[in-house]
Amino acid sequence: MLAQGILRSSPWDAVFVLVAAVHGAALLTFPSIPLIAIGLWWTANTTAHNFIHRPFFAAAGANAGFSLLLTAILGIPQSVWRERHLAHHAGRAWRLRRTPQLAAEVGLLLVLWGTLATADPLFFVGVYAPGWLAGLGLCVLQGHYEHAGGVTSHYGRVYNALCFNDGYHAEHHASPGVHWTQLPRRATSPGRSSRWPPLLRWLDAIGLDGLERLALRSPSLQRFVVSRHREAFERLLPLLPPVQRIAIVGGGLFPRTALVLRDLLPAARITIIDADRDNLEIARALLPAGVEFEHRRFPADGELSGSFANDLLVIPLAFDGDRDAIYGMRGAAAVAVHDWIWRPRGTSCVVSLALCKRLNLLTRR
């Protein structure tokens, strides 16, 4: 029996109820533009979204009350949100249906907004309204990139843990009534997916090379990137065995790793390996004399299994080979892998939250 018959489908839905209560308490206690904006985006795409498809409570009155609570927290009548979203799934235009529930939700919002505007107009205009509009903007961005070019999923574990499997979007569209806890079981055939969660999916269009070229045009961005990478390497270098030879894969374009390691390990011999000759020429112009360059792809035969003689191998975030095989390679004394912030391996530290990036270090001997 689910919470003495209170919940309709799953005891896990109690988490949504608790989180909604915490969200409301946070808004009352320390409201701010980021809290209002991020809270609206997150709750709309998790709690409110799941409530639309599978109302949490067995009693209709409890569902109506929870809809009023979400209306107050999000500043959006949940009846409108529900009708619009279900029309989206049905592939039809939505129409506003006048119901007593909608009237109650609109009335609640009018009272809430009127009270806020009267009691503290500066807060309403300077904090609440900008946060609410920013939250709506995040929701629009989320919805666009979940469907741009076709319904797209994201299977990152961190995102799906924080957003209750919202990344299984293609699976959700295929079976809208399936409970969120069951969606991972529906990912049985390869479909359209992105390595980016929806709010970061615009990076698919720009690509990592595009970001590198942006850094080449911005001295301030170069300083930021180098300083972030320097701090990460400074934290991990004490864990390394003696380093005499360093190989940096994909170090063309803006060679921030080579710049950092040239400074931190001046006696080490550095070789940059890149399959793009133009990238190597760009890096050559930015680096001091003494750095060596190899125009080829990595890995070559045997380099993962033991014939790689360098003391430190550095793998970029943009590496297009088998990253898991890199983590298991036995040829280098140490391997430093630039990876996404949600993929810690070995001894790890965050490079930058803004870059969504961390540095993982694995030592072999």
- What pLDDT tens digit does each residue of the chain (365 aa) get? 455 578 888 889 999 999 999 999 999 999 999 999 999 999 999 999 999 999 999 999 999 999 999 999 999 999 999 999 999 998 888 888 899 999 999 999 999 999 999 999 999 999 999 999 999 999 999 999 999 888 999 988 889 999 999 999 999 999 999 999 999 988 766 568 888 899 988 877 666 666 777 777 888 888 998 999 999 999 999 998 889 999 999 866 788 899 999 999 999 999 999 988 888 998 888 888 889 999 998 888 777 776 677 889 999 988 877 888 888 877 678 899 999 888 899 999 999 988 889 999 998 75
Count CB neighbours of 165 within 10 A: 22
Asked if residue 178 lies in contact with residue 124, where contact means CB atoms within 8 angstroms, the answer is no
- What is the predicted pLDDT for the residue at 1? 46
Q: Where do the domains of the chain lie, and which CATH numbers do they carry? A: 13-200 (no CATH), 211-363 (3.40.50.150)
Beta strands in the chain, from DSSP E residues, in sequence order: 245-249, 269-274, 292-295, 312-315, 334-340, 347-352, 357-363
The CA-CA-CA angle for residues 35, 184, 207, to 5°, reads: 65
Neighbour-count burial for 136-158, b at 16+ CB within 10 Å, e otherwise: bebbebbeebbeeeeebbbebee
Amino acid at 22: V
**50: closest CA among 182, 183, 184, 180?**
180
**86: closest CA among 154, 20, 177?**
177
Contacts of 162 (CB under 8 A, 6+ apart): none
Helices (H) and strands (E) in the chain, counts: 15, 7
